[in-house]
Structure 1
Amino acid sequence: MYEKTFPNKRFKHTLQFLRKHVDTSQTILDLGVKNPFSEIMISKGYNVSNTSGEDLDEDHSAIEKSEAEVVTAFEIFEHLLSPYEVLKSINSDKLIISVPLRLWFASAYRSSTDERDRHFHEFEDWQLDWLLEKTGWVIKDREKWTNPVNKVGLRPLLRRFTPRYYIVYAERV
C-alpha cells in the first residue's frame, strides 16, 4: 500500500538504519499513530505497535505500560513540548529516534491548516545528543542526511548540501 512512498529518501535511510540495529524478532513500540513508515516496518517483518494518538506531553501511560524491547520515534520529538519527560518514561533498553535538524536558512515548520502539525523543537545534533544523555541514554550510532527538493533558488540549493535529518540508536545506561 505504501510501497509507492518507499523510494522516499527519508524512509529508505530510516529502514536501513533500523535494520542495522533491530532484529525482526524484537518487539517495537513506535511513538505516534500508525503511519506510512510503521506500515513499511510491518511489511518488512517487524512486530510493531503504535501509541494511540494521545498527547504524549500529557499522557505517558502507553509508553510506561509497554513491554516492547525497542522504542522508535521517527519525526515525533520535534512536535513535543517536553521530550525529556517522554524519554524518561521509556522502559525499553533500546531506542531509535530521528528528528529534522534545525536549518539556519529556514524557519521552523508550522502548518497553516493543522494546528497540531508544527515543530516546537527543531534540534541541532548536539541538542538531541545532550537530551538523550540527560535522560540516561548512551548513543551507539548516528547518521545524518540531506533532503533535496526539486525547486530553484538559494534555499533549495542549500538543502542539497545541508543535512536535514538526524537519526540515533541509543541504549539505556
Structure 2
Amino acid sequence: MYENSFPNKRFKHTVQFFRQHVKTSETILDLGVENPLSDILKSNGYSVKNTSGLDLDLDTSEIESSKADVVTAFEIFEHLLSPFTVLKSIRANKIVVSIPLKLWFSSAYRSKTDMRDRHYHEFEDWQFDWLLEKSGWKIIASEKWTNPTKKMGIRPLLRLFTPRYYIVYAERS
C-alpha cells in the first residue's frame, strides 16, 4: 500500500517493532488524526482509533476517557510543548512511541508555512527515556534507525550513519 512512499523505511521499522510488542487483539488509541501509519496498522489487523485533532497540550480528555489497551504516538511528542502532561494522562498500561532524534549537525525542524508543524523538542534518546520514566513508564524495549536520503552532501552522508528515529515500547511502572 505505502511501499513506494517517502517514509517507507520508517513505516517498515515501526510496524516490525509494533508487531513484536502488541497483539492484534489489543485495542489501540493513536494520538493524532488518522494518518498513513494508522491505516497501515489497520490493514495489518489492528483495531486503531485516532484522536480527533484536539490540541493535546490544552485538552487531554480524549486520552483520559479512552479504554484502549495500548496508546501509540508516532512522531507526535516533538510537536507538543508539554509531552509530560500527555504521558501522565494516558490510562492504558502500554505505549508504543516514536520520535525523531536530535541531530547534532542539523537544527530543529520548523515549517516556514505552517505554525503547527514545528518541533518544540528534538530529544536525545536518554532525554526521552528520562521523560518516560519520570511520567511513570518503564521501558521494555527500544530501537533506533537511520534515515538516509538520496541527496549529495555532508548532511546526507552523516544521515547514513546517524540514527534519526527512536521507538520505545513501555509499560506503566
The TM-score bracket by the shorter chain reads: over 0.9
Q: CA deviation at 1:7?
A: 7.3
Cα offsets for 1:115-134 (capped at 9, x unmatched): 11110000000010000000
Q: CA deviation at 1:10?
A: 0.1
Aligned pairs, number: 173
Name the counterpart of 1:60: 60
| TM-score, normalised relative to structure 1 | 0.97
Maintained 8 Å contact 1:103/1:164 = yes
Q: What letter is aligned with 2:123?
A: F
| Alignment RMSD (CA, Å) | 1.2
Cα offsets for 1:20-42 (capped at 9, x unmatched): 00000000000000000000000
Relative to structure 1, is the Cα distance of residues 113 and 122 closer, same or farther in structure 2, using a 3 angstrom cutoff?
same
Give the whole-Å Cα distance in 1 for the aligned partners of 2:58 and 2:160: 37
Give the whole-Å Cα distance in 2 for the aligned partners of 1:25 and 1:105: 42
Is 1:85 the counterpart of 2:76? The answer is: no
Give the whole-Å Cα distance in 1 for the aligned partners of 2:102 and 2:35: 23
Give the whole-Å Cα distance in 2 for the aligned partners of 1:40 and 1:6: 14
Q: What letter is aligned with 2:156?
A: P
Q: CA deviation at 1:114?
A: 1.0
Give the whole-Å Cα distance in 2 for the aligned partners of 1:148 and 1:44: 26
Gaps of 5+ in 1: none
Name the counterpart of 1:14: 14
Name the counterpart of 1:38: 38
Cα offsets for 1:104-160 (capped at 9, x unmatched): 000000111111111000000001000000011000000000000011100000000
Give the whole-Å Cα distance in 1 for the aligned partners of 2:133 and 2:42: 30
Give the whole-Å Cα distance in 2 for the aligned partners of 1:60 and 1:7: 28
- Percent of aligned pairs with the same amino acid: 72
- Counterpart of 2:113 in 1: which secondary structure? coil
Q: CA deviation at 1:5?
A: 2.7
Give the whole-Å Cα distance in 2 for the aligned partners of 1:3 and 1:53: 26
- Counterpart of 1:62 in 2: which secondary structure? helix
Gaps of 5+ in 2: none
Give the whole-Å Cα distance in 2 for the aligned partners of 1:127 and 1:97: 14
Q: CA deviation at 1:4?
A: 4.0
- Counterpart of 2:163 in 1: which secondary structure? coil
Q: What letter is aligned with 1:72?
A: T
